[in-house]
Each structure stands twice: as C-alpha cells, then as structure tokens.
Structure 1
C-alpha cells in the first residue's frame, strides 16, 4: 500500500525539529563565509561552494540511513568537482594558508555524510581522488608535493575518525532495530496466545453453561431419562471437542456432530 505524500510544511517542520534544516543552514553560512572572505575569492570559489552544498542538501533531506548507489555516485562526482574547482581557485597561490583551502573541509563533511548513510566505499574512493587532485595541483604548479599533501592530510584523518564513528553508530542502530523486532515479535506471540486462551475459555464456558441444567439435575439426585443420557453424551462430546478441536464449534459440523451423538 502506497503512503500518502507528506505535505511540504510538515516535512519542513520535521526537519527543523530533527535539526536537519538548522544544521544545513549553519553549514551553508559557515562555508559561504569562508568562501567569500578567503584571499583572492573568485568565481571558482562560488562554483566550489555550490557544488559542496548540493550533496549536503540531498543527504539532509533524506529520512532514511541509506542511499542508492547511483545517487551516492552522483553525490561523489559533485564532491570531486567541488574539490577540483576549489584547487583551480587557488592555482595562483604558492603556499595556501589560513582558510584559502576552505573547500577541502567542506568536501570532508560531504564525505562524512556519505559514511553516515553507509556508502563507505564511495566516500573513500572520492577522498582518494581528491588526494590525487591535491598532489597533482602541487606538482603541476611547480610546488613541493608536500604542499599538496599538507592541504588534505588532516581531512583524511577527519574522514577516518568519522568512518569509525559511523560504523559504530550503524552497528548500534542495527542491534537496536533487531532488539525492537524481537520485542515486537514476542508481544505479537503473547497477544495471539492470550487471544487463543480467551477464545478457548469462552467456548468452554459456553459448553458448561449448556450443561448447567443437567449438572444441577444430577446434583439434586433426580432420575435421568434416556433423553437425559443422550444429552449428557452430547455435552460430554462437545466439551471434549472444545478441548481438542476448538475450531469445530465455529463450523457447520457442530450441529451435525451433536445430532449424530443424539442418535447414538
């Protein structure tokens, strides 16, 4: 059964209450400030900013901790392009300092988001591409390769720590989900058992209620006729059937079996 679409206002409210929009807004403000206030800010900085914002927006809007591989690859491509655009923006800087390479921090955050949704391989392949791009940027610009490595090394460490945390969180979430599933299954089994016991008890009480007049007659010591004895056989059989085959009382066979017992 398909679920009815959730109104935009309701989705926005859920995101705000869950911190999604708040986080995204702060993230954009911080990185936009870094992009626009870095030395020599240019159009490439704006392009890099737009490219790193897109994956964050897509991932923040998701309500599930999983992403299709195709979507993850597209987000990884945008993140890689953001890193390349950022490197182009500092092509004329001999030794970037301060927040000139702000975009690499944003790239690391995008890749951390991919690990949170379980796309560890995609995140690390993308990071490898960004590392190669940084080393290539240094070599092609006539800089020592260590300059390129120094730009990205701390972000690699950040992704490593974030990956370990994401793995731990996902395992905890899986264990919690499995525990809740076991609890739901046990509650369902207990509810079914109680319902069956209640139905069986109700049916037995009905049979005993039918047997009430006969039992009182026996207790009072009244003489029994042949019809009374046939009724006793019917009641005895009905009680035995209720214990052994409780569904029989709910079927059309009940009357047929009772009639057969009365005939002997």
Structure 2
C-alpha cells in the first residue's frame, strides 16, 4: 500500500523536475548555457536533498513537559542546518545566475522565470521540514532578486505571489497538523488514565465483593442464630458473636494485613479472651502481593507466640517498618505502662 508520504514525495520530485525542465526549454538564444545548467543542477540537488534527507527523529516535549512522541512519527523531521544553509544559498544564487545565463533581454521569458516557482517550491519544502525562518528568508531574497531584475509588477504577476502563498499555506498546514498530533497524544494519555482508573475501580469493586462475601460467611450464621433465638444467646453463642464482630472489624480496618493464617491466629487470640485491634492506616500502600505475603507470614508467627491480653496491630508510616505489634497484659493499676507491655515487635519492609 502506498503511503501518503510516498505520494507527497513523488509529487515534490515531479513538480520540481518539471520546473527545472522549463529552464532548459530555450525558445531564444541564451548567453551562458553552462551557467544555466549549473544553476539547474544546484537547484535540483538542493531540492531533492531537502526532500530525501531524514535524520533520526528527535523527541518533542509532551503536554506535561516530558519527552513525547518524536517529530517525524506524526510529521516531517527537522531539516539539518547544513541543508538549510544550502537551500538559502540556492535562493540567493539561482535567480541571479539564471538571469545572467539567459541574458537581460530574456528575463521575462518562461524559460527564465521558472525560478520564481522553483525557489518557491524549495522554500515550501524547507517550511514543511520545520525551518520557517529560513523559508521566509529565502522568499524575501527571491522577492528582492526578481523585482530587481524584472520589476515589481512583472515579478508579482509571473509567480512571486504564488510562491508566497505556497510557503504561507505550508506553515498553516504544518501548524494545524502539529496541533492535531498534540491533541491526539493528549487524548491518548487521557484515555490511558481513564482506562487505568476504570481498572482500579474494577479491582476495588472486586475486593469489596470479596469482603462482603467473607463478612456474610462470618456473620451470617451468628445473625441467623440470634434471630432464631430472639436475642437470647448462651455464653458460647455470645463468644461466637464477639469473635464474628471482631473478624468483621478486621476485614474493614485492615484487609491488607489479613490472610487465612493471620485470621486463624486472630480468632485463637480472641477465643482465649484477648482483645485485638487491627488498623491499616496506609503504611502498606504500594507494596506488591509478594511483599504483603512476607509481612503477613511474620505477623502470623508473632501472634502465634503471643499470650498478651490486649493486642494492637497497626501499620507504620516509617520507611523501614511495615507493621508494629504491641501486646499488653491485663495489669492492675499498680503497674506502670512500661511494665504492662509484654510484646513489642516491628515487622520491617521486605528488601
């Protein structure tokens, strides 16, 4: 399949070759044919170099200031400086060389005025290759040279106006294309952000459904017995209700700290009469599942070895410590707080 770029390149080559061929269609004797041929050769070489020379694309800043898509992916690459200087030199030398080659008497002949469209086409190519200052400077030089040799009216009527319009239209088209590319890139980033947000919402929704199902599994039997007995529960049933209540609080306050092993140890602690508080205050944000598994395993081991009457399990905002576990005894008023602490264990972030 032929690309748009290939079509435009072919049109550019055909058009510039046609303009150059007009310069060889002499209908009158010329003074210096060799000068004309050299000027035509310089023009064709310069024009085709500007069309075909493509350095590696360089990144352009994205909408947020970071490197975005490279120039050349959605538009032409920037013309090298040496090619710009060559194109400008061509705009300076070719008009005067053609006039001197054909003779002053033939300056308004078609084979002598081709350079008005030829240099205009070259500066249009330079504009498309993202060198607007060089393109407009070449048009100014072309205008000065053509008006000096054939007069203002003849220069404007024989092709100078068309060259100016080409360059201006190329600049507007390039600006519109770049703006469309930036808008497309910005919309792509917004779409990615929206997709990421939607995925995060789906994950959160799935987690909530899992928590609701687990809560129903824990609290459902207790609620059923409570309704069936009209609220009259014996000691064993009250214990089961307290354990279910604590498990539900754990699921709401610290779900990332829990797995089956940790839940089993928390239940054992409550069955022996301990009061357990689990709080996840954001210290585990950003950890992957492998790190959470390591932390949960250490937490389960810590709970398994503890006989404290009150257990406090909290995530830590410290960069090194992930979870802090504090165990206190049911000490009387005669003991200080330090004496009442039976367990102090810090679980570090996995390396």
Larger radius of gyration: 2
- Cα deviation for residue 206 of structure 1 reads 2.2
What TM-score comes out, normalization by structure 2 length? 0.55
C-alpha distance in 2 between matches for 1:251 and 1:133: 83
Q: Where does residue 230 of structure 1 map in the other structure?
A: 239
C-alpha distance in 1 between matches for 2:252 and 2:154: 81
What TM-score comes out, normalization by structure 1 length? 0.71
Give the number of equivalent residue pairs.
238
Spell out structure 1 runs of 4+ moving beyond 6 A.
none
> Higher helix fraction: Structure 1 or Structure 2?
1
- Cα deviation for residue 112 of structure 1 reads 3.3
Q: What does residue range 63-142 of structure 1 map to in structure 2 within 5 Å?
A: 63-65=73-75, 67=77, 71-84=79-92, 86-87=94-95, 88-93=97-102, 94=104, 95-98=107-110, 100-101=114-115, 102-114=117-129, 119=130, 122-132=131-141, 135-136=144-145
Give unmatched runs, 5+ long, in structure 2: 27-35, 58-71, 274-351
Q: Where does residue 54 of structure 1 map in the other structure?
A: 49
Q: Is the contact between residue 124 and residue 135 of structure 2 (CA under 8 Å) also seen in structure 1? A: no
For residues 116-146 of structure 1, the C-alpha deviation after alignment (integer angstroms, 9 at most, x for no partner) is xxx3xx322342145236635775xxx3563
- Cα deviation for residue 210 of structure 1 reads 3.6
Structure with higher RCO (Cα < 8 A, 6+ apart): 1
C-alpha distance in 1 between matches for 2:118 and 2:74: 27
Q: Is the contact between residue 87 and residue 122 of structure 2 (CA under 8 Å) also seen in structure 1? A: yes
For residues 4-59 of structure 1, the C-alpha deviation after alignment (integer angstroms, 9 at most, x for no partner) is xxxxxxxxx6xx3x311122122212222331342356243133112111222246
C-alpha distance in 1 between matches for 2:12 and 2:51: 9
Q: Where does residue 186 of structure 2 map in the other structure?
A: 178
Q: Where does residue 146 of structure 1 map in the other structure?
A: 152
Q: Where does residue 40 of structure 2 map in the other structure?
A: 45
Give unmatched runs, 5+ long, in structure 1: 1-12
Q: Is the contact between residue 83 and residue 104 of structure 1 (CA under 8 Å) also seen in structure 2? A: yes
Q: Aligned in 2, Cα 1:85/1:231: closer, same or farther, shift over 3 Å?
A: farther
Q: Where does residue 262 of structure 1 map in the other structure?
A: 271
> Higher strand fraction: Structure 1 or Structure 2?
2
C-alpha distance in 2 between matches for 1:78 and 1:227: 96
- Cα deviation for residue 224 of structure 1 reads 5.2
